[in-house]
Amino acid sequence: MTSQVEISSLTKRQTIVSILIIGLLFFIFGFVSWVNSILIPYFKIACELTNFQSYLVTFAFYISYFIMSVPASYLLKRIGFKKGMMIGFWVMSAGAFVFLPAAYSRTYAVFLLGLFMLGTGLSILQTAANPYITVLGPKESAAQRISIMGICNKGAGILAPLVFAAVILKATDTGLFKELASMHSVQRNVVLDELVRRVIIPYAVVGTVLFGLGLMVRFSPLPEINTEQETTELALANAGKTNIFQFPHLILGAIGIFLHVGTQVIAIDTIIGYANSMHIDLLEAKVFPSYTLAATIFGYILGIACIPKFISQVNALRVCTLLGALFTLCILFTSMPVVVFGHATDISIWFVVLLGFANSLVWAGIWPLALDGLGRFTKLGASIMIMGLCGNAILPLVYGYFADFFSARSAYWVLFPCYLYLGFYAFHGHKIRVWNLRKI
């Protein structure tokens, strides 16, 4: 195990360098994660899938967080942050290279295996990076630091679908997609084989870059900080604690993360399909995830400017959860034709975009509240929080099921109870320190 340093011993320069390195990691998280928003409709066409089947992209990617996050915490405890991050990048690299045989055979199951491996590597990186940035400074400004990481993450998310679409889609594809249904099966298979093999070069490049990033982080100046330090007061408070489930505010926070990331990925990864339901083709609809992510970045910037000077991170969390519930109702119950940024759409799709703003400070608000007072349980607590990211795997499937059964619009009802729970955590749940159903 590499020797650790206390946070208080870090110089200002070391802290800034550490934040920059972790910011790069969050950029990579965003680029790899949010490219799924274009992979879903792309695989739906190339592999001839239903809505439900296409959202297995997010399921395969994010279910790995549920499976791997606790093992990741033990891995990091044994070998340290830097070696653990290197392994995470290398697992991601292997997952990217799995796309090559998957594309040659046009086998959706092999693509899902590659996505699972990418998610596995990311779960290791996220388990390391989130508690690291949370404790890398005063607790009261943790939401600011997490918001800066969010800008890196969502900035990459804006670029990812646009870059991916520019690489794999052609101007003539709109007509080609319309002709697929009328093609003979042999001709259609030839066209679809050519379409899916366009991912080979991009993912070969991604795999190579991820391998190199693993080496870079391993030999970077990133310090091995002690994330499990306890003050005397905190040590006494946790003296009788023997397991992680004795921290209700953490467990309730992990449920909140499960629901939050699910609502976030639904807002971003389903918006192209919702645009398609308004007869907007893929080449035009590809920009809508970027609009949602831009709204999220605007929220991050507002949070950085206002927290904690004008508003506490708890109150910012409360405002965002209420806005999420309000915008969901607007998606479901408002309807009129509008033209915005040159897109002729129903107004409801712009409330899906605004969900990006509502979601912006939820993650940053929950993390410091949930990790507060964990002390020596911090790494394991962080892994429990990362397990919550499997909400990205489950909730889009629920949305896809209802979209097939009812409609793309009606399926957004799945968001409303999620925001109600997030509101409960923001106003009350984070204060609970002892399990007592009467007080909950």
Residue 376's pLDDT is 72
List 340's β-bridge partners, or say none.
343
Q: Which residue has the tokens 């940053």?
A: 364
List 346's β-bridge partners, or say none.
337
Cβ proximity of 21 and 216 under 8 Å = no
Mean pLDDT along residues 37-49: 82
Q: Is residue 437 part of a domain?
A: no
pLDDT-derived band of residue 187, with 50, 70 and 90 as boundaries? Answer: confident
Q: Is residue 194 part of a domain?
A: yes
Cβ proximity of 351 and 327 under 8 Å = yes
Residue 266 pLDDT > 80, yes or no? yes
3-state class of 430 per DSSP?
helix
Residue 229's pLDDT is 59
Residue 226's pLDDT is 62
Give the whole-number percent of the chain exceeding pLDDT 70. 91
H/E stretch holding 344 reads strand 343-346
pLDDT tens digits for range 209-222 = 899 988 988 888 77
Residue 232's pLDDT is 60
Domain that holds residue 315: 7-224+242-431
Identify which has the larger pLDDT, 102 or 65. 102
What are the angstrom distances between the C-alpha of 185 and each of 9, 51, 387? Answer: 67, 21, 42
Residue 143 pLDDT > 90, yes or no? no
Residue 58's pLDDT is 81
φ, ψ dihedrals at 318, nearest 5° = -65, -45
The overall longest dimension of the chain from CA atoms, in Å, is: 74
pLDDT tens digits for range 107-128 = 899 999 999 999 899 888 877 7
Residue 230's pLDDT is 55
Ranges 191-195, 206-210, 295-299, 307-311: which has the least confidence: 307-311
Residue 1's pLDDT is 45
Identify which has the larger pLDDT, 2 or 137. 137
Residue 334 pLDDT > 50, yes or no? yes
What are the angstrom distances between the C-alpha of 60 and each of 55, 117, 200, 267, 423? Answer: 9, 9, 19, 18, 29
Q: How many domains does the chain have?
A: 1
Residue 113's pLDDT is 94
pLDDT-derived band of residue 35, with 50, 70 and 90 as boundaries? Answer: confident
Ranges 8-17, 49-58, 97-106, 387-396: which has the least confidence: 8-17
Ranges 260-264, 330-334, 371-375: which has the least confidence: 371-375
Please provide the average confidence, as pLDDT, over all residues in the chain: 84
Residue 97's pLDDT is 95
Q: Is residue 116 part of a domain?
A: yes
Residue 327's pLDDT is 97
Cβ proximity of 271 and 349 under 8 Å = yes
Q: Is residue 440 part of a domain?
A: no
Q: Is residue 231 part of a domain?
A: no
Residue 272 pLDDT > 70, yes or no? yes
For 137, left (φ over 0), alpha (ψ -120 to 50), or beta?
left
Q: Is residue 237 part of a domain?
A: no
Mean pLDDT along residues 159-163: 81
Q: Is residue 438 part of a domain?
A: no
pLDDT tens digits for range 353-374 = 999 999 998 988 898 888 887 7
Cβ proximity of 246 and 376 under 8 Å = no
Q: Is residue 289 part of a domain?
A: yes
CATH at residue 94: 1.20.1250.20
Cβ proximity of 313 and 361 under 8 Å = yes
Ranges 204-208, 264-268, 282-286: which has the least confidence: 282-286
Residue 261 pLDDT > 70, yes or no? yes
Mean pLDDT along residues 97-101: 93
Identify residue 150 by its one-letter amino acid code.
G
